[in-house]
Amino acid sequence: MAGEVPAGNYSPEEILSLIHDIAGMCSGDSSTANVIAADAMFRKDCTDLVRRISLLTYLFEEIKELAKVVDSAATSSTIADTVDSDSWSSDLVLALHSAKRLLSIAMNLSSNSSSDGAAKTITYQFQCVTWKLEKVLSNLPYGNLDISEEVREQVDLVRTQLRRATDKYGFMISKMPSHELSQPMDQEFAQVLGKSVNGLLKQQSCPEKLSELNRIPKNIGGKGCSTFRAFSLLERSRSIPVCTDVSSSNVTDPESQEKSESKSQSEDKKPEAIVIPEDFLCPISLELMRDPVIVATGQTYERSYIQRWVDCGNTTCPKTQQKLQHLTLTPNYVLRSLISQWCIENNIEQPTGLTNGKIKKSDGSFRDVTGDIEAIEALVRKLSSRSIEERRAAVTEIRSLSKRSTDNRILIAEAGAIPVLVNLLTSEDVLTQDNAVTSILNLSIYESNKGLIMLAGAIPSIVQVLRAGTMEARENAAATLFSLSLADENKIIIGASGAIPALVELLQNGSPRGKKDAATALFNLCIYQGNKGRAIRAGIITALLKMLTDSSQSMVDEALTIMSVLASHQEAKVAIVKASTIPVLIDLLRTGLPRNKENAVAILLALCKRDTDNLACISRLGAVIPLSDLARSGTERAKRKATSLLEHLRKLQQI
């Protein structure tokens, strides 16, 4: 809402209402179709900010419920009083209103209608808003708010993401004169938008922290940000092996998990982490470059980021701080070719994008897709037809197009198909539903589409398909959840949606391919600590034990992989032991394949650390001999785990 934000304290319900308003700004419905216009300059910035704010829903829903419980007990000091009386609630509401005003402006700012002054001002506003939100969240009175550990992890994740975003914006404008930034946006910009933006800077300014915000991160270009997960999730032909299987080579070592248990969950070891060569990363964004260009100092940057840096009035090289003798940006064709080859070798779809009706090809040239856009837009309109047959034909064609190429996935999303496809997930026509969920799976392969799918509110409908759809639809729903869960914040949303029990049920009773897809999704979701308990309560240990003892031995690797991720969780340890899994694991030490032995000993070590009862159990079951054999002739990891477990057994005998 425009204008001044009323002073005072706010209830959880009021804050929740404001968060929901912001979350709805990128919903993509007919009333906000212009929000995600194809040429919006700050489209990704807006999407990311809305997603982060949306995650706060869980915090205030829990605060609201706790307030009701306390209030019903008629205590003298309620949680509601804590929320209302503390100034942080007012600060948060102020920051959220600032974010809402910023989003309403930035989502309408197109590259064709904006001035340089407007663009630089909006960049600064994103910096201020992200900093203010992170600051408020860092002051949450956890001691007075009896919120769960899972929700605290969610808030910590949001804070981490906001902090990184603040650093990114700060780096981009670190040399921008503050007196320029403190001026209102130019009148031309205000007239283009048809709304007043006066006072926006006043509401969002943060001069007391400018010196900190404008610092250049010392770890720019560091290895900590140079991981990129690549999974091929394209709709699979039944004659081709499933490409989303959990690979036994991608097991998360429980030992490394133990070392990072006290760290933020976003720092946990991720599956399939591919290290991007540092020379391929833009020094400003720390992302894989798609259009590398060389500046006067010889340094290479992603064109869009260095262009924005220059547009903000900077005349120095961001990396070396040397003055640029000229502002010419020269394409780095050699590096672009190397990046292209590296993407092919690592099965990574190369970044691309739509600009003024053209899509950039891998060789740097542009392809005019105006005709394709018109055809796809016509198809998208048919998705809302009153005719079942016409809707069915349109969604079938969308499914086919989304399978063929990255360009099509970009164009289909740009045409506004995602919210309509989400609506079709609840269609009573089985074929329409099947094609809709498969289309969303295909679209999710393109990274930028993941955020749009989440903002369209797709998860509840995908979970419904997972529960009650045809087997093919359930398989593709599980694969879609895996694809979307690659983003840490999405792990939280999916885990809280009720998806895990449905995935466990598919793991137990699905088709062979459905079980593979469910295992992959569960493995990735359970990397997030808060989802481990949900999986245990959904009965995943029973399902995993059945997979370990199945005579076909077709999914032993997958079962051990998931169990190794869960084994560090206390509730999981209890469930694994209670299910009589230890004898099965010891048997695998004797008869399993080398990789199975390695995973089995890793799980046993996790179960036995600081637990003398479990140590005594494996000793009674004769684990010493196979452990000794493994310590001599196993894989390097197996040797290390077996040796450690044998040492624990020796100490037990000495007691």
- Residue 472 reports pLDDT greater than 50: yes
What mean pLDDT, rounded, does the chain reach? 75
- CATH architecture of the domain 366-456 equals Alpha Horseshoe (1.25)
Mean pLDDT within 17-35: 63
Better pLDDT: 243 or 341: 341
Q: Where in the chain is the domain with CATH 1.25.10.10?
A: 366-456, 481-573
- 278-346 sits in which CATH class? alpha beta
Distance CA 606, CA 255 (A): 8
- Residue 269 reports pLDDT greater than 50: no
pLDDT at res. 8: 53
Q: Which of these ranges, 498-502, 575-579, 650-654, has the smallest mean pLDDT?
A: 650-654
pLDDT at res. 468: 93
Write the DSSP symbol of residue 277: P
- Residue 595 reports pLDDT greater than 70: yes
Contact indicator for 287, 150 with CB cutoff of 8 Å? no
Write the DSSP symbol of residue 185: P
- Residue 440 reports pLDDT greater than 50: yes
pLDDT at res. 521: 95
Q: Where in the chain is the domain with CATH 3.30.40.10?
A: 278-346
* Residue 560: pLDDT band with limits 50, 70, 90: very high
pLDDT tens-digit map of 28-71: 443 333 334 444 567 778 888 888 888 888 888 888 776 665 55
Share of the chain above pLDDT 70, in %: 72
pLDDT at res. 578: 92
pLDDT at res. 222: 32
- 243: tokens are 């490409």
Reference 159, options 215, 100, 151, 496; nearest CA is: 151
Percent helix / strand / coil, the chain, rounded to 5: 65, 5, 30
Write the DSSP symbol of residue 253: P
H helices present in 86-115, as ranges: 87-106
Q: What homologous superfamily does CATH list for 481-573?
A: Leucine-rich Repeat Variant (1.25.10.10)
* Residue 551: pLDDT band with limits 50, 70, 90: confident
Distance CA 544, CA 527 (A): 16
* Residue 73: pLDDT band with limits 50, 70, 90: very low
Better pLDDT: 353 or 167: 167
Distance CA 240, CA 380 (A): 30
Mapped onto helix, strand or coil, the DSSP state of residue 226 is coil
- Residue 651 reports pLDDT greater than 80: yes
Mapped onto helix, strand or coil, the DSSP state of residue 178 is helix
- Residue 286 reports pLDDT greater than 60: yes
Other CB atoms within a 10 A radius of the CB of residue 60 amount to: 25
pLDDT at res. 68: 63
pLDDT tens-digit map of 84-128: 445 677 888 888 888 888 888 887 766 555 555 666 778 788 888
- Residue 630 reports pLDDT greater than 80: yes
pLDDT at res. 414: 85
- Residue 424 reports pLDDT greater than 90: yes
pLDDT at res. 354: 66
Would you say the C-alpha torsion 306, 314, 283, 263 has a positive or negative sign? negative
Mean pLDDT within 329-354: 73
Distance CA 316, CA 601 (A): 55
- Residue 526 reports pLDDT greater than 80: yes
pLDDT at res. 319: 84
pLDDT tens-digit map of 561-590: 999 999 988 898 999 999 999 999 999 988
pLDDT tens-digit map of 601-622: 999 999 988 888 888 898 888 8
pLDDT at res. 274: 66
- Residue 283 reports pLDDT greater than 60: yes
Quick one: angle between helices 447-455 and 471-484, nearest 10? 110
Task: Give the distance from CA 452 to its chain's centroid.
Answer: 12
* Residue 272: pLDDT band with limits 50, 70, 90: very low
- Residue 329 reports pLDDT greater than 90: no
Other CB atoms within a 10 A radius of the CB of residue 549 amount to: 13
Cα–Cα separations (whole angstroms), residue 63 to 11, 80, 498: 10, 8, 20
- 440: tokens are 């969303």
pLDDT at res. 250: 37
Distance CA 491, CA 154 (A): 10
Provide the whole-model pTM.
0.64
Better pLDDT: 513 or 302: 513
pLDDT at res. 532: 92
Better pLDDT: 371 or 149: 371
Mean pLDDT within 359-364: 62
Distance CA 650, CA 116 (A): 71
Distance CA 526, CA 513 (A): 20
Contact indicator for 269, 260 with CB cutoff of 8 Å? yes
Distance CA 628, CA 623 (A): 9
- The secondary element (H helix, E strand) that includes residue 22 is helix 12-23
* Residue with token string 């630089």: 120
pLDDT at res. 58: 81
Share of the chain above pLDDT 90, in %: 26
Beta strands 354-355; 330-331: pairing state:
unpaired
Reference 461, options 494, 508, 501, 483; nearest CA is: 494
- Residue 450 reports pLDDT greater than 50: yes
* Residue 360: pLDDT band with limits 50, 70, 90: low
pLDDT tens-digit map of 168-220: 777 656 544 444 444 433 343 344 334 333 333 333 334 333 233 233 233 32
Distance CA 159, CA 162 (A): 5
Mapped onto helix, strand or coil, the DSSP state of residue 38 is coil
